[in-house]
Every structure is written in C-alpha cells, then in structure tokens.
Amino acid sequence: MALVANLQYGWTLFVQPIHDKYQWNLASIQLSFSIFIVVETWLVPIEGWLGDRFGPRPVVAGGAILACLGWVLNSYANSLSILYVAAAVSGIGAGCVYGTLVGNALKWFPDRRGLASGLTAAGFGAGAAVTVIPIANMIQSAGYEQTFLTFGIIQGVGMFVLAMLLVRPQPPKVTANKHIGRATSTVDLKPSQMLKTPVFWTTYLIYVCVAAGGVMATAQLGPIAHDYGLATLPMTVLGATLPMLTMVLAIDNVANGLTRPLCGFISDKFGRENTMLVMFIGEGLSLLGIMQYGHNPYAFMLFAALIFMCWGEIFSIFPAICGDTFGSKFASANAGVLYTAKGAAALLVPLASLLAQGKQWNRVFILAAIISICAGLAAKFILAPMRSRFVTKQNNVKAPAVTMPEMADAHPVAKA
C-alpha cells in the first residue's frame, strides 16, 4: 500500500514540470490524473471479485507489474495521449493493489473493521510521505522523466516481492454487535443484491460528495501553491528546511495516513455516521480556512494538513460501513463497488481547473466546502436512520423468532 501511494499522492509534484516542458494546458495534464482515479476506482469491483475468488497474491502481483509499467510509460510520454494511456495502466495496477488489500482487512477482522481497514489504508495515505522528498529532489536534479522511471521500477519490484507473502483470509464468525452506534448485518449480500438497495446509493452519493474536496486538493495543491507564490518558499520545520510545497506534501501525507486508523478506531467505538459528521464538516471548514488565510505560508500548511486529515478517513470508514451493512463474504467486491465513488469525484478535478482559471481558487474552495458540509449532515440525519432500519430488517429475515410449538419440540423438558 505504501509503495503504490505515489501514483496518486506524488502526482502533483510532476504537474508543473510537465507543463514547463511541453506547455500543455494544466487542465489537459490534470485530465490524466482523473483518468488514473477513474480507472483505479471503477475497476476495483472486478479486481475485488478476483481477490475474493483467487486470493490476494496473484491480483496484487499483477497490479505491481501494471503500476510499474504505468510510471515507465510516463517517463517516455511526449504527447498527451501517451500520458493518458500511462494513467489508465497505472490506475488498473493501483486498483488491484488497493481494492484487494482493503477487502482482505475487512474479512480478517469483522469486529474491528474500521481500525483494520484504517491501518491498511494508512499505508496508502502515509506511504508517500517517505518518498515525497526524494522524488522532489530527483525531479530537480535529474528531471521528472528519470524520476518516473526510477521510482516506477523501485515501487513495482517492491510490491511484486511483497505480494508473494500474502495469504487468503480465514475470517472469524461474528454475530454480535459489540460497539455503541454500530448497526451490523449478519447477512452477506452479493454486489448485485447490494446495488438494488437505496441505502447503498445514499452511501455512494455521500462518498462522492466528501471525496470531491479531497481529490481536488490532492491534484491541485501544487498549482494552488504556485499561484499563491508559496511553492518554492523555504520553510523550516523541526530543523529541516525545504521548499514549502515539498514540506506541505510530506506533512499532509502523514496526516492523511494517521487519520485512517485513528478515525477507523473511533468509528468502531462511537459509530460510523457520528464520526462522518464531525470529519466531513471539519473538511469543509478547512477548505474555507485555506481560502481565507492560505496566502500566509504557515496558515497554508496548517489548513492543507487539516484538509488531508479530515478527508483521509473516508478510506477507513466507508469500507467499514460497507462491511457492516452488507456482510463479510463478498467484502472485497462490495467495497470495490463503493470505492468507485472516488472515481466519480475525480471527474471534478478538470472542472476545478476550469473554475480556477485566472487564479480564482475561491470558487473551488467554496463549492467543495458546501458539498462536504452537506455530506456530513446527510450522513448523520439521513444515512444513519436508513441504515439502521435496513440492517434490522435483514437480520430479522435471517433469524425469525422461534414459535412456542418449535420450542416445545426442541426442548423435551419444556414440552413436559
């Protein structure tokens, strides 16, 4: 998970160098990021099904090869069409790795789904923090093409070797709800059955809304920092001095990784929707904060970190809420279907570039903040009661009440 993270979180470092070399429109360059996210997310249901059927090892190994190939293609891309093909190849690889591993976590620990999926997804959030500085330095010293090639090979080989250590889960059976605020189903629904339920589509819409702000921030943070005149400003934190954009990305990826297990653990204890309410509203307020105060470099660093912290938890809470609602047996495929919401949100990235033409980023921040805050309110006051009713109904259908004659036949003492 840590090795595949740069395909998404390291991308913003390459946007400006690509633009400087070829003078392609920024919105056209960012379309490759949207293609990557769409392919990564919308094929995860198929990749999750393969993981459910054949186990994690072959699926993740195949994803490692494709992820490596995608970045190698990026290093040779001298046209937008090649850049887009590389994004699609990378997206397939990243989806194989991400979807399979999160699905495994849901199966191994059904009584701690939030924490388990959060710890797994933390690698994807925090993994880029380890390499963002070396990547930024290599771009400066050797060019972005050599950086794509070198890190593509390192990441691909590392993922392939680690894939050989994966084993198929043997999940325990959990029938009791042990935690406050947790509506947990004992029924396993297939993806085709899940897609017929209103509770799934409500969850999906909320996911799209809150993911939109985070995806736009991930892709546009570099261009925003450049437009604000802050990207190359030297900043010192804990004795380390780096260009501000590099420093911000390192801090943001750590925040993005840490929030996943933390919020997953909190949601295990206090309920998925309660956690969503607080964090989604927090994301909206952070977006407004960077809009209002972001021209100050320290404020930019603070609010960017808060955006990533409030956004990153969706990658632990939504897989967990999917497992709670639709069961463990088809967890990889079901979570993969829900994960396509991230792809739908990524379609807004080029829109953000168009809205921000002329450095008008305020329009982007306001729109994303409103959507995120509304998603938090919807999670608490619409999704929570809807999901509670759905899970109760499913569990009652599976375990009907025992009648008095049945009790008498089953227990001779009672019959006597």
CA-nearest of 311, 366, 367 to 342 is: 311
pLDDT confidence of residue 239: 73
Q: Which residue has the tokens 């009713």?
A: 389
Mean pLDDT on 376-385: 95
Please write the tens of the pLDDT for every residue from 170-228: 655 544 444 444 677 778 899 999 999 999 999 999 999 888 877 776 667 777 888 88
* Topology of the domain comprising 6-167+181-398: Growth Hormone; Chain: A; (1.20.1250)
Phi (first) and psi of residue 203, to 5 degrees: -60, -40
Please write the tens of the pLDDT for every residue from 219-233: 677 778 888 888 888
Report the C-alpha gap between 260 and 34 in whole angstroms: 23
Exposure string over 383-398, b if 16+ CB within 10 A, otherwise e:
bbebbeebbeebbeee
pLDDT confidence of residue 403: 42
Q: Where are the domains of the chain?
A: 6-167+181-398
Least confident of 44-48, 252-256, 370-374: 252-256
Using DSSP's 3-state secondary structure scheme, residue 181 falls into coil
pLDDT confidence of residue 405: 42
